Structure 1
Amino acid sequence: MKKTAIILGATGLTGSILLQKLINDDRYESIKLFSRKKMEGLPNKVEQFIGDILELENFLANFKANEVYCCIGTTAKKTPNKETYKRIDFGIPVTAAKLSKLNNIPTFMVVSAMGANAKSSVFYNKTKGEMEQEVLLQNIPNTYILRPSIIGGNRKESRLLEKIGLIIFKIIQPLFIGKLKQYKIIVAEEIAQAMLNLANSKTSKEKIITSDKIREISK
């Protein structure tokens, strides 16, 4: 039986790649997008629900699928207000997980970040860590939390400091061996493919997938 997938964050780097993969995948007959703005030029198999996703609970009746992919995320630069930042990076994934639980969606995966730690003194890491904890508390059968390192790829917006960081990381990457492999740059294509592979194999016993494991699963 063909499946329905939900994507949150389909306009972002990883989400947009994942969307194209799902469109091209015959296992999926329907893709639901929940966002603030409509995306143009998408095929009929994509259904869009437009509204305030900071109030995602209002979409409960339409939040039904076989799988949920949460690729939502912001940056301190784009969202300097910490309260708003937390509503996005914590609030949206957690609400999505709760809606998935209510509607008996068996597969839920979310892109977190390397360094996520609910006990961290760093706001960003703490927020991601708290999000992960709340998502896992929903006990959705096939839950996967992906913790990528620095994500490489062509972004729509310009991030000068991030580009400089990527260049430096590429130079020193040969030094990353053993446990340091998880710190290597990972491209968004690998993350999107890993999510798709996890959803359709469900072979990983690990709930939290580190960056080096993401790369392995994507192959």
Structure 2
Amino acid sequence: MKKTAIILGATGLTGSILLEKLLNDTRYETIKLFSRKEVEGLPAKVIQFVGDILDLEKFKADFIADEVYCCIGTTAKKTPDKVLYKKIDFGIPVAAAKLSKANGIPTFIVVSALGANATSTIFYNKTKGEMEQAVLSEKIEKTHILQPSIIGGKRQETRIGEKIGLVVFKLIQPFFFGKLKKYRITEAEDITQAMMVLANSTSKEQIISSEKIKKLAINKN
């Protein structure tokens, strides 16, 4: 039976790559996007629901699928207001998990981050950690939380500082051995491949480390 997938964050780096993969995958008949604005030029296979996704509950009747992929995330630079930041990075994934549970969606996959820790004194890590705890508390049948390191890939936005930082980081990566290996850049391409491998497997592993993401992507077959 062909499947229906939901994507949250389809206009971002990871979400846009995932969307392209799902469009080309014959296992998926329908892809539902929930976003603030419509994405133009998509085929009939895609159904778009446009509105305020900070109030995801209002989409409950349409939030029905076999799998949910949550690629939502912001940055301190884009969202300096910590209240709004938490509404996005914590609020949206948790609301999506609650809707998934309520509507009987068996698979929920969300992108978190390396270092996520609900007891951290670092706001970013604490928010991601609290999100993970809240998502897991919904006890969805198949929940996978991916914890990538710095995400690499070609972004639509031009962020000079980030580009320079990534170049420097790539130069020092060969020196990351042993316990430091997990801090190597995680390519968005690998994240999306790992998400699809997990969704189409019997795995019940909940926390997927940056190193495991790369292994799943490499051993996709």
Report the equivalent of 1:9.
Answer: 9
> Could you give the per-residue CA deviations for residues 167-198 of structure 1, whole angstroms, max 9, x where no partner exists?
11111111112222211111111001110110
State the Cα distance separating 1:160 from its structure 2 match: 2.0
Structure 1, 170-179 or 119-128: larger mean CA deviation? 170-179
Which TM-score applies when normalising by structure 2? 0.97
Which TM-score applies when normalising by structure 1? 0.98
- Point out where structure 2 has 5 or more consecutive residues left out of the alignment: none
> For the residues of structure 2 that align with 1:38 and 1:52, how far apart are their CA atoms?
12
Q: Which amino acid aligns with 1:126?
A: K
Report the equivalent of 1:69.
Answer: 69
User: Residue 114 of structure 1: SS of its match in structure 2?
Assistant: coil
Is 1:217 the counterpart of 2:212? The answer is no
Identity percentage of aligned residues: 71
User: Residue 201 of structure 1: SS of its match in structure 2?
Assistant: coil
User: Residue 101 of structure 1: SS of its match in structure 2?
Assistant: helix
Report the equivalent of 1:161.
Answer: 161
Report the equivalent of 2:123.
Answer: 123
Q: Which amino acid aligns with 2:66?
A: N
Counting matched residue pairs gives: 218
Kindly report the root-mean-square deviation, in angstroms, between the aligned alpha carbons of the 2 structures: 0.8
> Could you give the per-residue CA deviations for residues 102-148 of structure 1, whole angstroms, max 9, x where no partner exists?
00000001000111110001111100000000000000011000010
User: Residue 58 of structure 2: SS of its match in structure 1?
Assistant: helix
Q: Which amino acid aligns with 2:212?
A: K
- Point out where structure 1 has 5 or more consecutive residues left out of the alignment: none
State the Cα distance separating 1:9 from its structure 2 match: 0.1
Structure 1 stretches of at least 4 aligned residues deviating more than 6 Å after TM superposition: none
> For the residues of structure 2 that align with 1:52 and 1:202, how far apart are their CA atoms?
34
Report the equivalent of 1:25.
Answer: 25
Q: Which amino acid aligns with 1:127?
A: T
Q: Which amino acid aligns with 2:153?
A: G
